[in-house]
Amino acid sequence: DAGVTQSPTHLIKTRGQQVTLRCSPKSGHDTVSWYQQALGQGPQFIFQYYEEEERQRGNFPDRFSGHQFPNYSSELNVNALLLGDSALYLCASSLAGTGTSLTDTQYFGPGTRLTVL
């Protein structure tokens, strides 16, 4: 059973460019959340997708957008890259539930390391 997969592993971009990161959830999971983890910090919640819609959003500007496909995979797009966008971007998947089950645990992918020069 494949876990959460992300691509690419590493990415180098320059300021002002746009980037797309991809995530495939763990088998059987239908919810994908994206997080940004700057060096030495805890992950910060960007947004969550369920049923191909953005359901929750953290405190991130509109430059950050996403998409979820019918097969539950997801993309994170970042426009007009800034130096401060350099970080590890983590995708996490889970099975939408009632909040009372241990299966509501999020499973994290290996991340995409984005460097903006």
Partner 1 sequence: ELKVEQNPLFLSMQEGKNYTIYCNYSTTSDRLYWYRQDPGKSLESLFVLLSNGAVKQEGRLMASLDTKARLSTLHITAAVHDLSATYFCAVDITQAGTALIFGKGTTLSVSS
Q: Is 98 among the residues that bind partner 1 (CB under 8 A)?
A: yes
Per-residue binding letters, 56-95, with partner 1 (x by CB under 8 A):
x-x-------------------------------x-x-x-
**Judged by CB under 8 A, which stretch of 9-17, 33-41, 62-70, 71-79 contacts partner 1?**
33-41
Near partner 1 by CB under 8 A: residue from 23, 43, 78, 85: 43
Strand ordering across the sheet containing 5-7? 5-7, 19-24, 74-78, 64-68
| 56, 42, 3, 7: CA torsion to nearest 10 | 80
Nearest-approach distance from CB 97 to partner 1, in angstroms:
5
Cβ count within 10 A of residue 38? 13
Give me the amino acid identity at 14. Answer: T
How far from 43 is each of 15, 28, 82, 91, CA to CA, in Å? 22, 24, 18, 10
What residues make contact with partner 1 under the rule CB under 8 A?
Answer: 31, 33, 35, 41-45, 48, 50, 55-56, 58, 90, 92, 94, 96-100, 102, 104-111
